Structure formats: C-alpha cells, structure tokens
Amino acid sequence: MRVLGIETTCDETAVAVVACDEEGRGSILSNEVLSQIAQHSAYGGVVPEIAARAHVEALDRMVARALSKAGCGLGDVDAIAAAAGPGLIGGLLIGLTTAKTLALVARKPLIAVNHLEAHALTARLTDRLAFPYLLLLASGGHTQLVAVRGVGDHLRLGTTIDDALGEAFDKVAKLLGLAYPGGPEVEREAAKGNPERFALPRPMLGRPKPDFSLSGLKTALRIEAEKVAPLTATDVADLCAGFQAAVVDVVEDRTRVALREFQEKVGHPPTALVAAGGVAANGALRDALGRLAGGAGLRLVAPPLELCGDNGVMIAWTGIERLRLGLTDDMTVPARARWPLAELEAPPVGP
Ligand code: KG4
Ligand code: ZN
C-alpha cells in the first residue's frame, strides 16, 4: 500500500510518499519539505496571505518531486491524503483542493487528515507503537496532552489556556531580538546562559488538571528584560536559559499529572510517552521527558527531528492508517481552520 500525503497547514509546503507492507510496517519513499521561513522571518511570524501564495506556487512542483523521488507515478499510489485542518485556511484550501483534483484525475480514494492526528500517529510509523499511548504534542500552534487510544479515538487530557509552547518560544525570541522561528534560537542561547540568574515563575505547577498557561511566564520574562535593558549577550543567554528551564519544569509537571490521569481515564498504563511537534526537538525538554518516562517505567518515543516538525510523511502515514480501516472521504469534505481531535470520526470497530 502506498499513499501520497500533502501538508500545507502552516508555513511548510510538504509532500511525501509512504508505503506499508502486509505486516503494517511503514517505509518512507520520499519526504519533500519546502520551508517558507525566509518569507516570514522579516515579520517575526507566519503571515497567512504570504503562506497561501507560497503554497500555491510550490505545490505542483513538490508533488511531482515527491512522486519522482519515490520512483512512482500517480497511478501507482493507492490513495491521496491531505491535511484538511486545523491550520491557516488559505493553505488548507490549496492542499485539500490539490488532493481532491489528483484523486479525481487518478480515480483514487481521498483521505482528509487531521494535522493533530498526523502528529499523534507518527510514532506508529517510526516505532510501530501499539495503542494506547500518552502524547505530548507541542508545536507553534498547539499544546496538548492526549490519550491516543486508536485511529480517530483520542482523549484530550490537557491543553493550554493561552499561548502554545512553540508560540511562547517564538514570542520570547522576538522580544530578545532573536530570529524566527524562535525555538532553536532560544535553545542555542540557553546553552550558554545561567538558568538561575532570573527568578521566573512556573505557571500551573501542581495544578490537578494537566493544563498549561504560558503568558504569565512570557510577561515575567519581559519585565526582567526591561529591568536590565539594554541587553548584553550574557543577559540574552541568561534570560533564554531561565525561560527554557521554567518551560521544562512546567512540561515535566504537567506530563506527570497527565500520566496519572491517563491511568484513571483509560484504565491501564500507556505503552509509551510520545513527544511530537516542533518543540519536541528541544534537547532539554527531551532529556526531562526521558527521565520522567523512565521513572514511570515507560519508554520515551520522540520521532527523529525531521519528523518532529510539519511534514508530508505524517499525513501520508495517517492516510495509510485510515485507508486500512476503510476510512476515506468524499469530495465534499471541507477544509477546517478549527478541527479539535475530539471531533474526529472513529472507526466502528477499533484496530
Ligand atoms: O510542529 P511545527 O514545525 O509547526 C507547527 O507549529 O505546527 O512547530 C514549530 C514550532 C515553532 O514555534 C518553533 O519555535 C518550535 O516549534 N521549535 C522549538 C525548537 N525547534 C522548533 N521550540 C523549542 N526548542 C526547539 N529546539
Ligand atoms: Zn504541526
């Protein structure tokens, strides 16, 4: 089984072909990613209109390249999958309409993929993980702790009440004059800094529900930065180190609470702790989550870095998971800017 996957929810135009053998083992035949970072960096964030235009200009070429690198034609794939949400509506319309057109022309099934489910299921491609597992999804747009029970069957245990984790990294970077996207910049600076110089809060620490709140931490950092301005290179490094240490403490605490809640709500322990989304690339965070998982007798599964951020592989793989269960979509399926995991359609019988 082979599926073509298209990802255009944010600022990456990505297309991939993924195959799956009879035992359910997946392999990546191609993985094309075109980042728009250069077009957005001058604005310190993603500009939706620029993103949509860049997707429309690049997508046909990216589809052709992904097929040719996979050594196949459109006729050789078994389905076309595209991210249909959540995300920026302009990009979603371009990706989904392209997928519909390809599916119509090649007479292949269409699969409208939820971008969050695609992040959630990547660990099954990379590690052949069995359900159920606990997922920490942390990206520029999303921060969620989810019990992944099956395809289309996800229970959200916690989320952020304000900024997403990646968004907080990006905003802190902007405030300190660092480049966009901020996560990798803040991590690089933090490695040189003293995490204890500035006393920053740990919002939500110890709360009984595994939710997040990042805006207070961001404000506290801004106040500290204003106190010592103009900022030297050491100030920037120390502020980044303090911020990252606070985030790591918060994520560790919230994930610990989610593990407890998982046991209560799902009835048995998870098969693993999975970290996904761009923020899961953060080394300090991975280390802390690894320790937490180890302490709970679990394995930490974090996809390789190129599969942490947005990519077409995760969309194609989710297409495969859904196709195997007969879950395809018709041509009327809409693009959805907002599409919570809880609103996904689950298969009638679990896999
Ligand atoms: O999953 P992703 O590529 O795109 C979506 O937002 O869906 O995540 C991008 C986010 C950005 O906010 C970026 O700053 C953050 O992930 N990020 C990081 C790191 N690398 C990327 N945050 C912290 N540390 C990193 N090393
Ligand atoms: Zn994403």
Instruction: State yes or no: cis peptide before 210, omega within 30 of 0.
Output: no
What atom in ligand 1 is closest to the CA of residue 309? 3
Residue 2: how many CB atoms within 10 A of its CB?
18
| CA 304 to each of CA 18, 147, 182, 278, 344: distance values in angstroms, whole numbers, following the listed order | 16, 21, 20, 11, 26
**Ligand that comes closest to the CA of residue 10:** 1
Sign of the CA dihedral running 286, 288, 293, 294: positive
Note the pTM of the prediction, 2 decimals. 0.93
Q: Whose CA is nearest to atom 3 of ligand 1?
A: 309
**Structure confidence at residue 350 (pLDDT):** 44
What are 119's two structure tokens? 């992040």
What confidence score (pLDDT) does residue 23 get? Answer: 93
> 93-116: buried (b, 16+ CB within 10 Å) or exposed (e) per residue?
bbbbebbbebbeeeebbbbbbbbb
Q: Which atom of ligand 1 is nearest to the CA of 277?
A: 1
* pLDDT the model gives residue 347: 64
Residues near ligand 1 (Cβ within 6 A):
10, 139-141, 166-167, 169-170, 181-184, 187, 277-279, 281-282, 309-310
The confidence score (pLDDT) of residue 351 equals: 42
Low-confidence ranges of the chain (pLDDT < 70): 346-351
Query: What pLDDT score was predicted for residue 180?
Result: 86
* Residue tagged 């997403």 (tokens): 164
Can you list the domains of the chain with their CATH numbers? 2-122+306-343 (3.30.420.40), 131-305 (3.30.420.40)
Is the Cβ–Cβ distance between 30 and 67 less than 8 Å? yes
d(CA 128, CA 338) in angstroms, rounded, equals: 29
Which residue of 92, 139, 163, 186 sits with most ligand 1 atoms within 8 Å of its CB, as the best mutation to test the pocket? 139
Dihedral in degrees, nearest 10, Cα atoms 151, 152, 156, 160: 100
Cβ-contact 123, 108 below 8 angstroms: no
Integer Cα distance of 251 and 144 in angstroms: 11
